[in-house]
Structures are given as C-alpha cells and as structure tokens.
Structure 1
Amino acid sequence: MDQGVLYRASSSLRTQSTSFWRNGGPEIFSNLTREDDDEEALEWSALEKLPTYDRLTRGLFVGSNGDANEIDVRSLGFQERKELLERILKGADEGNERFLLKLRERIDRVGIELATIEVRFEHLTVGAEAYIGSRSLPTFSNFIINILEVKIFNLRNQFSGNVTYNGHGMDEFVPQKTATYISQHDVHIGEMTVRETLEFSAKCQGIGSRYEMLSELLRREKTANIKPDPDIDIFMKAASTEGQEASIMTDYVLKVLGLEVCADTMVGDELIRGISGGQRKRVTTGEMLVGPTNVFFMDEISTGLDSSTTFQIVKSLRQNVHILNGTALISLLQPAPETSELFDDIILLCDGKIVYQGPRESVLDFF
C-alpha cells in the first residue's frame, strides 16, 4: 500500500471518528443523563413508600459526583453538611435570599400558610402604686414597709382587660418562647468554641413547630405527587429533627454570619484568649438565630462591628423576616445610610422619648 492510500485511509478514520463524536456524543451523554434521572426517580419513589416517620428522617443526598443516594438526615457528617450548604448558599450576596425563596416556594406550592403573629388587646388598663416624698427614698425602713404593705394590703400592679396571642390567652402557652431577645452584653462560656456555643443554644431552644409543619408538608406533597428539590428537602428534614449531635442550623448560621473561620476557636474571656470583639458580638446574635422563633428583639447588635459586617447581618435578617413572615426590632446607634435603607419602619429616640415612628421613606419629609 503506497503512501497516498495510507493517507486516505487515516483521513477516513479521522472523519468517521469526528462524525461519531459530533453525531453520537451528545446522544450518549443525554442517555446517561436520562438514566441518572430515572435512577433518582426510582429512589425517590421508594422513599415515598416508606412510613411517615421514616420519610421525615430520610432523603436523597446528591454527592459531589452527581449521584443521589438515600441517607438518614440524623447521620449527616460534617463534610456532607458542608457540601449541602455550599450548594444551597452558592453566591456571596444572593445565595441566602435564593435559598429562602426556594424554601418559601416549596411551602406555598402545597398551600401551607406560614404562621404569623397577631397580638390583640381589649379594654386594657394598667395601673401601679407610686410613692412620693420621703416614702420614695430607697431606705431600709421604706423597703420593709413596702414589703409589709404588699403582704397585708395586697398592693400590686393593677391590670385589667384581655390580651390574646393568635387568639390564645396568655395562660394557654409560654409567651417567653414566642420571641427572642438578643442582649447588647456578650455573656458566654469562654472555654467553649463558637460551634459548641451555638450547638448548645440550638439544643436548649429546640425545633419548635418545624416537625409538625414538615409532616403536613410531606403529606400534601405525596397527595399531589410533587417531588421537591433534594437539597431543600434534606435541609428542612435535618433542621426539623431533634437528637442530632450536630445541627445543620448551626452550620447555616455560622456561614451566614461569617463565623466559619473561627468556628472551632474558643470564645474566650478575660483570662482565655479567644475570638475578637466583633466575632463575639456575632456569636451573641447567632445564639438566638439558631432557634425556631420568628420574632427578634435585638439590642445594639452592631457594637464592635464595622459598617460592612453590620450591613450584611441586617440584610440577612431582612431577607429572613420578609420571606418567612418574621419580625425584627433592632436598636442601632448611628447606622450607616445603606444599613438604614434596609428597614421598613424606623423609630427615632431622643432623651428616651420617641420623636418619630413610621415608614422609613417618610422620615425626611416629617422633619
């Protein structure tokens, strides 16, 4: 065979090979994709046939290689939680908002309404006894007389009227568990790490009504034959399951507040070197964010923080309360303009008195 014949033969082989990859390549990959989708659908179908309790604790975890495997959310490891959060919070600025919107979309799709808070009061009057003159002085004799008067004459604050919380009286539940107060004082156990501090707080606060809401959500999705996003499904199940050594809510709050870099560092105190003052302030905020409440009263959460960090924290809180129907009352001293623009309503105080209360857009026109 001469050189010309060899050249034509090799050219023909290259042409056929190129034609194969041009025409058959995408079809091969599409077939592989369809097979993966079919396998995932079969695994999800098997998952839906499990009893209710098992479905609440199991989900499909998509690994780094793209394979979906059934997993028990109670046994999620550190690396698995990290991969999951990196996927659902992908994107520095819009990641958290996109994730919360997916959560809300899943809940709205089956017609579940998120709980809102309505406090009503009717014919409410509050009165108190006040001493004047020498009786108002904080002396030992006045202290003893005050105690005797309370015991003998039953002098107490006078309260009348009716106050209801979502239609329930204050004696039907524990009002203190419906809201969260974040103090301006950073009181922590110095020997505990940042992660341990948030984990301890999460276990103390529990999961609230997440489990009941998730049970109803799964029931309605099964009835409507709706398949949720696997990552969102695993996150919600992990956040609604008690008894875990490590909570995914802790990892989520650590990531949102930018505390991942010091998660395994001791908080520290006057005798133990630990995290910085700004990080300690964020730990104080994170302690309450890991809980199930949607009402936050925050006192001076920006102390020790730079304007950029304060902006990011308030922005995350704004996304949370807007999308998940929460409420946040935050006190700040001279916030930056970009931070002030994140608020819906503003209360301005001067010498302990309210000088303005109303929409943020109307504050300049008011003055």
Structure 2
Amino acid sequence: MSGIYIHIPFCKQACHYCDFHFSTSLKKKDEMVLALAKEIGLRKSEFENETVETIYFGGGTPSILAVSDLRMLIDEVYKNYTVTENLEITVEANPDDLSEERIIELSQNKINRLSIGVQSFFEADLKLMNRAHNSAEAKKCLEIATNYFDNISVDLIYGIPGLTNEQWLQNIQTVLDLNIPHISSYALTVEPKTALQQFIKQGVIPQPDDAVAHEQFLMLVDKLEANGFVHYELSNFGKENYFSKNNSAYWLGKKYLGIGPSAHSYDGTNRSWNIANNSLYIKALAENKLPSETETLTETDRYNEYIMTGLRTVWGVSLERIKTEFGENMLHYLLQNAQRYLDDKKLVLENNILRATKKGKFFCDGIASDLFWLNLEEE
C-alpha cells in the first residue's frame, strides 16, 4: 500500500510561523492545477506495482481551490493508478474557506476526511499567528462539518506566548465537545526566515517558553488519553479507527509520491523532491519534464530515519528489524546509547520494542538524534 501527497502551494495570507512553500498570489492557480494533473500522469510508472490507499491534499491551503479542481486531480489519480476500495482522501482546510455550502460540496465528492487548521479558539492567538479566520468562524465551521463528515482532524498549537494553561485546556475541550475524532497538535516553533522570527528579534513577540510548551504538551496528553484518544505519534492523537492513514504510512516507512512544487517522494531506497518554485515547476511540466532531484539513501540514512520515525510513534523501534536490516553491531550501538534513557525512564524496552515513555515523548526527537549513527562507513 502507498500514498499520494498533492501540494497546493497557495494561501490567502502568510501565517507568521510558517516556512512551507506557498504563494499568496493566485495568478498561476489554473496553470498549477493543470501542471499537477500532468505530473500525476507522468509518474504513474513509479507506482506500477503499488496500490494507492491515501490521497492527501496539503499545502499551502488546498481549500483555496474550487471543488471541481480537487475532483479533477482525484480523477487523475483514479485514471492512472490502482487504488484501494476504501481510499482515504484528505483535504487540509482553513475555517474561513468552509462555508456550509463548501462543506456540502466537498462531502458530495470522493473526499472523506477533513483536516481543519484551527490552531486556537482565542482571537489574540489567531492575530499573533496572522491566521485568516477568527474564533467564531472556527467554531461554526466545525459544528457544520460534523454534520457532513465523520472523519475530521483539527490542528491545535500550544506554547503560544500569552496562551495560559486554562485557555489551552479550553481549546482542547472545545474540540472534545464537538466529538472530533482526531487532533494534531504542535508546539509553536520559531523557524528561520519567518515573520515570527523577525518579530521575536525585534521584541514585538516574546520568545516561546520551552517549559510552558512542555507543560501544555503533558496537559494535552492527559486530557486526550482520558477521553479515549490514542497518542499514536508525537503530534497526533486519534480515536480507534481514526488514525491518519496518510501520516501513519510516512512513519511506517511506506512508499509515497509527492506531487507539486517542493513535494517529497520516497520509494524505500530513494528520496526525491520537486523544485520549490511555482513558475519553474509549471514551465517544466509544460515541457513534460519532472523538475526534481533524487538521492539514494545510505544505510546510515535508513537507520537514522527509522530511529527518528519509530521513536515518535506508538509502534516504536523493533530490535529485530534493526538486527535484520543493519546487523549485530548496529543493534549493540543502539542499546548502548539508549541505556541512559532507559535508566532515566524516558525510554522503555518491552517485547523487543524500544519506545518513548510518557516522560520521554516530548523529548523524543532529541533522544533520537543521540541514537543516530554518525560515522558508518558506506560502501
């Protein structure tokens, strides 16, 4: 089973924290949709022996497209690829795009999952992040969406300067009250060359406090687990049968195609990525060329990626897989370096699976980097 990710590189306005590839100009929107469709067709040979189980529209803001554009791209996938019967088709959407009319229109197509970028229900937070919607729009769109979609995910951000613990719990409770079955939640991160970084440098916005973010993360975990959610990946919580199939495929090392400018692909051995420039992407596809670069992953790359993704998930890192794929020396190296985290109760080893504990989950990316193999001699 494999997945197809389609990057829609347009937004109404730039969120202050975002470093993804997008444009706020929609002048090339129609050309871009045609180029995306062209790439979907050109790359079908890469998935000749694969069955597609997910289509994920990310961005950018996919909900900025007309539903007819989304439908056309979905049809291109069906035309060129073998797809599973219960295909999960997700569209990322912002509340300001989700009128009742638009939600109904989305629900009447093959789209069966919405990922809604709420981030916060407090106006001060939304203004700080330069979100295009307000709190009332966020609540209204969720109330409407639950009437037409069973499978909905909501994005929330913690660690926002000025967001109190009480407000954070209110954000979580608002989503719970609407019976949303999946939540993706991230700490506010200051990425290089973003407006947020500039505002912090200028003293306009205070630096996010890591201790506050950690506290709010633990509150999130406690609250959601108490309400029947499974913390199946560092930033993702789902009710049973509502885990994101698309995201789970990434963490489990399945193959995926990334369609669109800046999108990445992975076939188990190689990673490729498209040029992060809308005009050059469109020009290349008009000439039936794929504007991408490819790298072959080394044994070190594959080991390190498995450690990073495995520790982030409920499935953990299989010692048997480490031994089989990378050998006894690598297994010894992993266990030797993991010991201090086992002693500190940040990792646990059960049934030959190495996992992050509740205490260690917030720090699992840093723990993983300490377990990376940095000097393996490649052939």
TM bin (shorter chain) = under 0.3
Higher alpha-carbon Rg? 1
- Give the structure-1-normalised TM-score: 0.27
Which structure dedicates a bigger proportion of its chain to strand? 2
Greater RCO (Cα-Cα under 8 Å, separation 6 or more)? 1
- Give the structure-2-normalised TM-score: 0.26
